[in-house]
Structure 1
Amino acid sequence: MTFEELSVLWLKTRKNKVSFSQYKNLRCYINHLNRYIGEMDVESIKPMDIDALLDTLTDQNPNTGRPASRQTLVDVRSTANRIFEYGIDLELITRNPARGREVSRYAPRRYRRALTATEQGLIISTPHRARVGALVMMLAGLRRGELIPLTWDDIDLDALKISVTKSAEIGEKNKNQFEVKQGTKTSWGRVVDITLDLALELQKAKAVAVSKYVCSRVDGKMHSVVSWRRMWNSYHTALCKAPGAESTNIQEITAHYLRHTYATLLYLSGVDVLTAAKLLGHSNVKTTISIYTHLDDLTKSKSVDKLDSYLSSSLFRAPA
């Protein structure tokens, strides 16, 4: 049996166990693997073959023409590892050549950032029909797919809670329509406690809402892929033209950056990592730990910068 044939069998076992977006990602990782080892007999594949394909992806991802990110390499390796373990379970092979293979520490990491204080202020103050949705993502950490199907019935303003129980994913047949599925990207759902300030903003928005959706199309229906993109482009333009934006260069703002801002606000507020993982809906606390560790590193770097500035201005340049 070739690796490609084994991967087809394994992928069928994941069809009803992961979300559609995760399933698409798995197919993408398998495509990378099949490009290099798909036609090889699974029994003949050696650890050096896995090293070679990871090194090739490290140099260049054929889909982008740029070096593959470290996370992509990890995901490709993990997918290969799971497929080979499946082959062992089927007694097709006796060893897993992907087990223990290293990913280059020099591979670029995916770029993610939290919004600056100025950008956060603009999200709060700039009028736009996307504003309430942006506030929910920035101050409650919802993903784009969790915000799109969110209805006012999911929000308990008295208890200061949002129930995140469904997610919208790009349709498999119609790429312009979102399909709503029960559960979120990583779990069956979660309840997010919200601040009083966010609750007051939601209360004002609900009083004038014409749709059951918290962030809807102009006609009140749930967003399509195109309508969301148009709204978000319009919103970004409004942010760039808003009073106070002239003095700063507003960078690209995405739904993921808003969610990362929420994680950063949790960190700066002193929320422990386990609580943050539950609020963010991370299935593995390691994801939250990696964010907190990254923020720890940034904080330390800024602290050293302050020390450097102090020493340069007061100690080393002080008169003898």
Structure 2
Amino acid sequence: MVKYEKYETKTGKIRWEYYEYYGLDTKTGKQIRLRGKGFDSKAKAKLDFQRKLKVIQDGEKITMHKKIKFKELLNEYLIYFKDSGIKPGTYKKFKDEMDRYAIPVIGEMYINEIDINDCQNAYDAIRKRRKDHRKIKNQIKTIFDFGITKQYITSNPMQYVLVSKTDLRYKKRRLDSSENFYTPEQLMTFLEAYKEVEEFQKFVYFRLLAFTGLRRGEALALFESDLLRNEKAIKVTKTLTEDANGKDLVADTPKTETSNGLVYLDDDTYHYIIELINHRNTYDNYGNLTYIHNNKYLFVSPKTGKHYHRSAPNDWLKNFFDRNEDALKKRGLHRITPHGFRHSQATLLFELGVDPKNAQYRLRHKNLKTTMDIYTHLSDNQKQGTTQQLNAFSSGVPTSVPTFSKTGKKES
């Protein structure tokens, strides 16, 4: 007889589960056990049990149309996924993650035979390798949901997997967002140091990221014609991304619909861009003649005469820090990624007192919540400074609003 039981999750929620031994499968000789858990009421648990029981009693078993393996189901889903309007880079990343984490574990199994134990083992293996193991688990669950839609299976075994934290220490692959930015003072120090020893074109690239908040691929995909001289603005209509095969692709749309639009330039950044355009072929900081072919792109690789590769800005930063790490540390500069300059622009807007709605427009965030999350994080970092200002006010010491002084010949 089926048993229904309540249990408490690690987060303190009450859930229902059921289990029953039904008998032996006459074809395979395997035991048939009906199980389910995670229901927020006994009634829902009963309903799920009755549905599974009816499938067996009607002789449908689990396979309703055809018997396929998980890797075959994945291939069917990828065709649908690719045609759904998803960006090529997103498609490739999803496929690569499934090939790396799901296929080696359950790829050769028939989907009607995959049970909760198989899924739990797969998840536990992923959890040891990925910090974002929940994301991979949900991706696999999406594949099974697709199988239900196609009527290959009637339930999703991945939905019953127990998700837990781990004490494992993962290899740090990227900077935390709390580290991946510069304060306004650090930003100006970095740009001046970079301009001293690196190619002018690369300096202009990072200056543009820092003072506009453009994403790495958006800046690399810019044409010279995207500079609107009358408005002193950059027109953002495309980005450099990857196709399904991992090759660079200039996409006609940026990351989101709200990424399209004009981004206005401060005077210094505008003049740097004009100088770059007017003096393409010039000596770099190493004394070498940098010859740029006639090209439509704003940032042009001397080697190919076309846009740079998406990974180029990461290499520029890595090489710069590797060569000058000790000197940069003395100036209070740590390593950041190209996306860190976008965070630095948000920091600068916050420090200048720009309201979140205007900051959202400039950073081209789809949702105001994204901008508010950044501002809230920055505000948390300012709490100690606020307390010091309050102490000074309480004791009668005049306080002043921090201002940016000129460093060298440039200011923000």
TM-score range for the pair, normalised by the shorter chain length: 0.7 to 0.9
Higher helix share: 1
* Farther-moved stretch of structure 1 (221-230 vs 247-256): 221-230
Q: Following TM superposition, by how much is the alpha carbon of 1:230 offset from its aligned partner in structure 2, in angstroms?
A: 5.9
When Rg is computed on C-alpha atoms for both structures, the one with the higher figure is 2
- The correspondence of residues 5-154 of structure 1 with structure 2, limited to 5 A, is 5-16=72-83, 17-31=85-99, 32-47=101-116, 49-59=118-128, 61=129, 68-69=130-131, 72-99=132-159, 102=163, 104=165, 111-112=176-177, 113-125=180-192, 126-127=194-195, 128=199, 129-154=201-226
| Structure 2: tracts of 5 or more residues without a match | 1-67, 282-294, 393-412
Name which of structure 1's ranges 42-51 and 147-156 shifts more when overlaid on structure 2.
42-51
Letter in 2 for 1:191: G
Backbone CA RMSD of aligned residues: 3.9
Question: Paired residue for 2:270?
Answer: 199
Which amino acid is 1:104 matched to?
K
Deviation at 1:278, TM superposition (A): 5.2
Letter in 2 for 1:154: D
Change (3 A) 1:43 1:148: same
Q: How much has 1:114 moved relative to structure 2?
A: 0.6
* Structure-1-length-normalised TM-score: 0.73
Cα 1:166–1:199 change in 2 (3 A) is: same
Change beyond 3 A, Cα 1:7–1:143: same
Equivalent pair of 1:178/1:223 in contact (CA under 8 Å): no
| CA displacement 1:215-262 (0-9 Å, x = unmatched) | 222365322468666655555467759xx8472354333212222222
Unpaired runs of at least 5, structure 1: 62-67, 311-320
Of Structure 1 and Structure 2, which has the larger fraction of its residues in strand? 2
Contact 1:161–1:191 (8 Å) recurs in 2: no
Distance 1:199 1:100 in 2: 56
Deviations 1:90-149 (A, max 9, x none): 122233344486463878695231124454113432423201111121222222222212
> Which shows bigger deviation, 208-217 or 232-241?
232-241
Assess, with a 3 A threshold, how the Cα gap between structure 1 residues 226 and 258 changes in structure 2: closer, same or farther: closer
- Alignment CA distance shift 1:2-1:169 (3 Å): same
Indicate if the aligned counterparts of 2:314 and 2:337 stay in contact, CA closer than 8 A. Answer: no
In structure 1, the partner of 2:26 is: none
Equivalent residues in 2 for 1:108-257 (5 A)? Answer: 111-112=176-177, 113-125=180-192, 126-127=194-195, 128=199, 129-170=201-242, 178-187=248-257, 189-197=259-267, 198-209=269-280, 212-218=296-302, 220-224=305-309, 231-233=316-318, 235-236=320-321, 245=328, 247-248=330-331, 250-257=333-340
Between the aligned partners of 2:340 and 2:119, the Cα distance in structure 1 is: 33
2: CA distance between counterparts of 1:195 and 1:104?
45
The residue number in structure 2 matching 1:260 is 343
Q: Distance in 2 between matches of 1:115 and 1:40?
A: 49
Q: If the length of structure 2 is used for normalisation, what is the TM-score?
A: 0.59
Conserved? CA contact 1:170–1:178, under 8 Å: yes
The residue identity in structure 2 corresponding to 1:57 is: I
- Of 230-239 and 139-148, deviating more is 230-239
One-letter code aligned to 1:214:
L
For 2:371 and 2:125, locate their aligned partners in 1 and report how far apart those are by CA, in whole Å.
30
Query: Between the two proteins, what is the percent identity of the paired residues?
Result: 24
Q: Which has the higher contact order (CA 8 A, sep 6+)?
A: 1
The equivalent position to 2:381 in structure 1, one of 276, 298, 302, is 298
Q: Which amino acid aligns with 1:218?
A: P
Q: Is the 8 A contact 1:84 1:98 kept in 2?
A: yes
Q: CA deviation at 1:26?
A: 0.2
Please list the CA deviations of residues 148-177 of structure 1 after superposition, one character each: whole Å capped at 9, or x if unmatched: 12112112243243222222234666x7x6
Which whole-Å CA distance do the structure 1 matches of 2:368 and 2:110 have between them?
37
**Quick check: 279-288 or 38-47, which moved more?**
279-288
CA contact (8 A) 2:313 2:338 kept: no
1:188 positional shift:
8.2
